[in-house]
Structures are given as structure tokens and as C-alpha cells.
A and B are shown apart, each in its own frame.
Chain A
Amino acid sequence: MSTDLGTGRDLRTDDEPEAPTGKAVARIPWRHRLSRWDVRLSPYLYVSPFFVIFGIVGLFPLLYTFYVSFFDWELIDDNPTFIGLENYAILLADAQFWKTLVNTVSIFVLSSGPQIMMAVLLAALLNTRLRGPTGWRVGVLMPYVASLVAIGIIFANLFGPNYGLVNGILETIGLDRIDWQADRFSSHVAIAIMVNWRWTGYNALIVLAAMQAIPREILEAAVVDGAGAVRRFFSVTLPLLRPTLIFVVVTSTIGGLQIFTEPKLFDAMPGSNNGGSTNQFQTITLYMYQTAFEREDLGYASAVAWVLFVIIILVALVNFLLTRRIATTGEGKR
């Protein structure tokens, strides 16, 4: 490889003066031309494994799903019928689809919002002088390590309408019991708490890393200027965390719009994909799964998948634009 690069470099220096005359270029020996291609193409070759694998396991299924979405295609089906945009037309008029979309957004907002606020606060606490900092940091990450299925089963128990611990506590302190399964908003809150339990510590550690990268001098300068702890946090720490917060927001958006396991395990009916008796907490991915593997309507499920894909792209685009704006305004201030 090193020799290749060497000849490549030689070639360029040799080439440059000759370049203006077309004749000279044509006379470049075969060996040299090979080397030049090597320089130009090799980098692409080196990165190609990723794209080849992505093409096979990422792009192909994506495009094939798009293709399938134009058919009336059952799970076990050798003769699917082409129906054009009919799946999409049905989808736009499908009340259950819109319901699951609202559920997804609702659970997403209920989880991501509080989650990021708690993560920042946790990180701020972890960033103070603590005895045994590693122990605390690992402790915060524990829920993330625990099996998602175990968490799901435990939380479904805690939020049991009749014999759950949460309702027991509510009753002891004199509040009304809540039917966490039946009530739409309550079920979203319960699922969001499940999501937050798992992800807050993880995000806190990312934010903590960013916090520790903030130069001490800036904070010390703020102290000299007479800023208190709260002022320092809001005027110095938070603004400098922006890029990290954007990253956390983007990743939790992508995860949040695809919530599946939590609502599936939350359902009282074992193994059910209904997301509650009236789909009150069925998310889009759960609906997609149910359509594909329970109703065995692969074409329609593909249409759902693509609409979800477009929604995620749109949300990601909004996030991207936001990031750019915040980044530039940040620079402007500086």
C-alpha cells in the first residue's frame, strides 16, 4: 500500500506541468494510469464494505418494502396482486393508524421531554464532588443494563389496576386509584415512565461527559464575575451543552418513534399486540407488527412502515435544521 501511495504522489508531481497539453496526457503509460486510478478509486474501495453490507441489509429491504407496499400481499403468498396506491389510500383513512400515530407521539413527548431534563439534572449532580464517583455513574446506568423484557413485566405489575403497587400507594396517601390500563393518557404516562426508567441514566452519562469537557477556566471566569451556582448552570453550562443535547434529542426521537416492547408487555392480555382493549396505547410499530404477522397483510404493513419512515425522516430533518440554527446562533454570540 505504501508503495502505491508513493507512486501516486510521484505521478501527480510529474503530471502537473504536462497537464495543459492534451497530447502529453494521452502518452501516460498504462502503469501510471493504473496508479492514478488507484489513488482516485482506492479510498472508495476501502469504504465500500460498509455500503455493500448496508445495501444488502439496509437499502434492499427498504426498497423492497416500498415495492411490497403496492401489492395486496399475504404473509404466505405466491401470487400477490398489484393494487397501486390502494394501501396508502386505505391507510390515510384508517382511524386506527391515526390513533396509533397520536399514541406514539404522545408517549414520545411524555418520555423524551422529562427524560432529557432529568438526565441533565442527574449529570449536574454527578458532576459535583461525590464520594466514589464511578459507583454512582455505574448505578445510574443499571436500568439500561437490565433486560427490557424484565423491566416490562415488572412495570406492568407495578401499574396493575387492581393489585399494583402504584395504586396501592396512591390509595394509602388518600388519592384515587387510576386505571393504568383503561385510561388512554394514564397508560401513556405509565409507558413513558417505563421508557424513562431505562434511558435517563444512559443519557445522563452522555451529558455528563459533555459537562466534563467544559473548560474549567470559563466556569472560573464566571465565578470571578460573581455568578452563583444556578446562574453558572443556566448561563454557562447549558449553552455549552447544546450540541450534546441535540444529539440526545435526535437519538431519543428515533428511539421514541419506534417504541414497541414497552407497550406490548404493558398489555394485560399476554402476548397481545392490541395495545389495550381499544388500542389506547398501541404504537405505530406495534400496529405494523400486528398487521404483518397477525393479520398477515404484508402489503399494508409495508405501507405503514414507509409512512413511519417518512415521518421519522421529517422529524429528523426538523431536528437537523434546528441543530444548524442553534449552532450558528451560538457562534454568533461568541
Chain B
Amino acid sequence: MRHQRRHVFGITSVVASAALLLAACGGDGGSGGAGADGKIELTIGTFGEFGYDELYAEYERLNPDIKIVPHTTGQGGPYHQALFTKLGAGSGLDDVMAVEEGHMSDVLAKSSRFNDLSEIGPADVSGDRWLDWKFEGGKDKEGKLIGYGTDIGPLAMCYRKDLFEAAGLPSDPEQVKPLFETWDAYFEAGDRFVRNSDGAAWFDSASQIFNAMQNQLEVGYFDRDDTLVVESNPEIKQNWDQVTAAVKRGQSAGLVAFSNEWNSGFKNSAFATKTCPGWMLGVIEEQAGPEHAGKWAVTDAFPGGGGNWGGSYLTVPTQSDHPEEAAALAAWLTAPEQQIKAFKAKGVFPSTVEALDSPELLAATSDYFGGAKTGELFAAQARKVEHAQYKGPGDGKIQENASSPALQAVEQGKTPEAGWQQFVDAAKQIAR
């Protein structure tokens, strides 16, 4: 971890020089300066869809001295790349920056460049506003609060009713629950399905399953000292063995998530189950198309308990000229009432305890999924998540560049043991 120590050193000097630069500039304009009309201008950076468009106008009405300038990037990838570049450069970030959960480990590793929201944020915002695991996920190792939780992606199971029936499995959302109770039950049902199905696989991609299992572990790829535990944590190897064995028994369709072939796989009924965060329902509906309406179903069960995939945080970088005003805006946007409004506007799933109980959320249903009460269902799944797993720096990169390619290699014919070696070697190189 030689890199790590040097890193901290580097950060402090950049922050110091950024502070000097800010002092030198003396707050004359720039992003987030006071406008000509005496209003404080707050910039906010988001990606994709947060459902905030109408909320900005409402906040400006409630706070006449604030002017909000939103910067929206379509895709998360380039958005976060720009975020880290500007973080390193020491300037150019917005007053409020959204950060996706998958990039949170890298942001928390540079937590000195962000304001502690428990210090500068409104006093009435406390941790019990959010689901516990969501709140904990916004803190760095020392307990400094970097981000207010926005949305979440609680995991449920989506499955193809018609394919289940054809293979002689139960298909009613209540009756399938035993199949999705534990991972053992899940893979066992997979064997039964593959034996009786007409060419369809059980799941889409091995890494989709492995990632969900990995996220349920007490300790992730790194322990709290940021030591890589891929080899020393036997649970990771157990998950690996279980998933790769299922691959070798023909349970995987071998389709890389979000690839063109994966999209086609939905249309071609290539697999029968899908790990399903709330936002995945929209993806399935779009990719499977109207001809599969009513064939997909979703149930409030997930092997091994619960899980989360996706969702974001709002942070306030130290670069901001108006940290307190920015924190107040972030706090307001993540309050239960606003989360419900965002959910109604764009289906962004709320992360606050109060919002999860709101009648508007609980009433939400999905026609495509046979009228399933999706609001109630995902609210229940969100409460099943047990803890926020600590994610060391590089955690996301290991998932993307070590475990996923290695699992793909196994799907393409590599032996599970050789695949494991590839995974371990790549993980070590990333952690180097």
C-alpha cells in the first residue's frame, strides 16, 4: 500500500494549493459566485436521470436568494471520469456533485477533498432519515459523512413465468419464493430448469450472479485496512466455485451485461431469471419488448437475503465556494418529500425511511410485470439489506477488470481453477 500513503500526501498539497488559488481569486465570479442580482449561484452536477428538474424551480421559489445551475451529463461513465479529473486538477467541480454507488469507494478514498456534511449540513438532518446501510455507505473510514443518499437499487428476482411453467417449475410470485431463498436453492432450481427447458439458460451472466453474492459478504474485496482479501477470504472462493460450477452445468447464457448480445438475449428468451434492482424493470421492458409483456414477473425474494445495486449520493467538494448553501440544497433534495416527488416524476427509487412508507410509493404497480406492486415490493427488499459492505479503493475496478472478465473466460470455456487464477492475478495487479 505504498501508493496509498503517497496519495494522501499528494491530496493535501493539492487541496492546499487549491485553497491558495481560491484565496487569491478572492471569490470574483467563477462557478458558484454571487451573481449580478445578488443571488448566490449554486451549481449541481448529475448524470442520467435524478428526477430533479422541477425540484430546482421549487427550491428557488422557497429560497429567493439562491439560483441553481444544473449540469447534467447523459452517461455515468464520462461523468465520473470528469469528476476524478477535476478533483485532481483542484478546480472545475460543481458545488453539489452526485456520485454513483459504484464510484463511491474511489471518492471515499479521497475524502479529504470533500466537506464533512455532518459538520456543514443543516443540523436537523440526521442519520435516521435514511436506511441505515445507505447512510453508512456515505461515510469514509473515519466516519466522515461525504454524501447524502439519493436513490437506491434494492435487489429482487425477475423471472420468466412462461419458461418456468414450460420447465415444470412453479410460476406464481408467491410460490417461486422458495426457489429464491438461498443461493443453494437457486442453483438447484437452475439445474432442474436447464434439464427441462428448451435451450434457455437459468441466468444471463455469471458475473451478474457473482457480484450480487459478493456484495452480501461481510467483507468485500478489501478489509478495513485496505488489504486485498481475495485469496484470504474463503467465502469469495466458495462463491466463485458455486457460480463457476453452475456455469459448467449450463446455467449461464454467457451474455455480458449491457452488451448488444445481452439486449438480444431478452428478445430471444435466452435466460429465465435476472437479478433485478428496481431500475432493471425499465431495462427489461425496453429490451424484451411488448411481445413479452406479462411473461416477465418479479417477486420480493432474493437468494441470501437482500442486496443493492445502484443508487447515488450527493456530495459537496471542498472546491465549492458556498459549501453550506450547497449542503443545504443537497439535504433538501434528499429529504423524504422530495424523494417521493422524484419517484413520481421519473421512478427514482427513494432511500429514506419515511419515503419508503409513503402511500404514493406503496401504490406503484407495473403493468408489464403483470400488475406487480413494485413500490411495495422493492421497499420490502430495501429493508432486507443487512449492512453496508466496506469497499476499499479499487473495489469497483476489481469487479470490472478482474472478476467479470475472468468469469466471462470461464463461460467461454476456461476451467474454473484457471479462471480463479486469472481473477486473483488481475486483482493483485489492480491493488498493487
Footprint of B on A, CB under 8 Å? Answer: 74-79, 81, 153, 156-157, 160-164, 179, 181-182, 268-272, 274, 276-278, 293-295
User: Would you call the interface of chain A mostly helix, strand, loop, or mixed?
Assistant: loop
Beta-carbon contact of B412 and A182 below 8 Å? yes
Q: Which residues of B contact A269 (CB under 8 A)?
A: 256, 258-259, 400, 404-405, 408
Closest approach, in angstroms, between the C-beta of A183 and any C-beta of chain B? Answer: 8
A100 to chain B, nearest CB (A): 14
Assess A157 versus B260: contact at CB under 8 Å? Given A76-B88, A77-B6, A294-B397: yes
Interface size class of B (residues with CB under 8 A): 35 or more
Our pick among A79, A162, A271, A277 for the contact of B255 (Cβ within 8 Å) is A162
B residues apposed to A, CB below 8 Å: 3, 6-7, 9-10, 13-14, 77, 81, 84, 87-88, 254-256, 258-261, 264-265, 268, 270, 397, 400-401, 404-406, 408-409, 411-414, 422, 429-430
Interchain CB contact under 8 A, B14 and A78: yes
- Contact partner of B261 (CB less than 8 A), chosen from A78, A160, A274, A278, is A160
- Complex Cα–Cα for A78 and B12 (A): 10
Q: What distance in Å separates the Cβ of B288 from its nearest Cβ neighbour in chain A?
A: 14
CB–CB A294/B401 < 8 A = yes
Taking chain B's interface residues, is the majority helix, strand, or loop, or is none over half, making it mixed? helix
Chain B residues within 8 Å of A278, by CB: 405, 409, 414, 422
Would you give the shortest CB distance from B11 to chain A, in whole angstroms?
Answer: 8
CA distance A117 to B405 in the complex (A): 36
Q: List 22 A-B contacts (CB under 8 A).
A: A76-B14, A76-B84, A79-B9, A160-B260, A161-B261, A163-B265, A163-B268, A179-B412, A182-B413, A268-B260, A268-B261, A269-B258, A269-B400, A269-B408, A270-B258, A271-B77, A277-B408, A277-B411, A278-B409, A278-B414, A278-B422, A294-B397
Q: Is the CB of B260 within 8 A of A274?
A: no
CB neighbours of B88 from chain A (8 A): 75-76
The CA of A268 and the CA of B256, in the complex, are separated in Å by: 6
By a CB distance below 8 angstroms, the chain B residues around A76 are 10, 14, 84, 87-88
B264 to chain A: which residues have CB within 8 Å? 160, 162-163
Does the CB pair A162–B412 fall under 8 Å?
no
Are B10 and A79 touching (Cβ within 8 A)? yes
Query: A268: which B residues are within 8 A, CB to CB?
Result: 256, 259-261, 408
Q: Which residue of A lies closest to B409 (CB)?
A: A277
- Please, which residues of chain B bring their CB within 8 A of the CB of A270? 258-259
**Docked-complex contact B258 and A74, CB < 8 angstroms:** no
- Complex-state Cα separation, A293 to B397, whole angstroms: 12
Query: Chain B residues with Cβ under 8 A from A294's Cβ?
Result: 397, 401
Kindly provide the distance from the CB of B256 to the nearest chain A CB, expressed in whole angstroms: 4
| A77 to B88 Cα, complex, angstroms | 8
Q: How far is the CA of A272 from the CA of B260 in the complex (A)?
A: 14
Q: Nearest chain A CB to B335's CB is how many angstroms away?
A: 34
Contacts of A276 in B (CB 8 A): 405
- Residue on A nearest B258 in the bound complex, by CB: A270
- Report the separation of the CA atoms of residues A178 and B260 in the bound assembly, to the nearest whole angstrom: 17
Alpha-carbon distance between A293 and B261 when the two chains are bound, in angstroms? 27
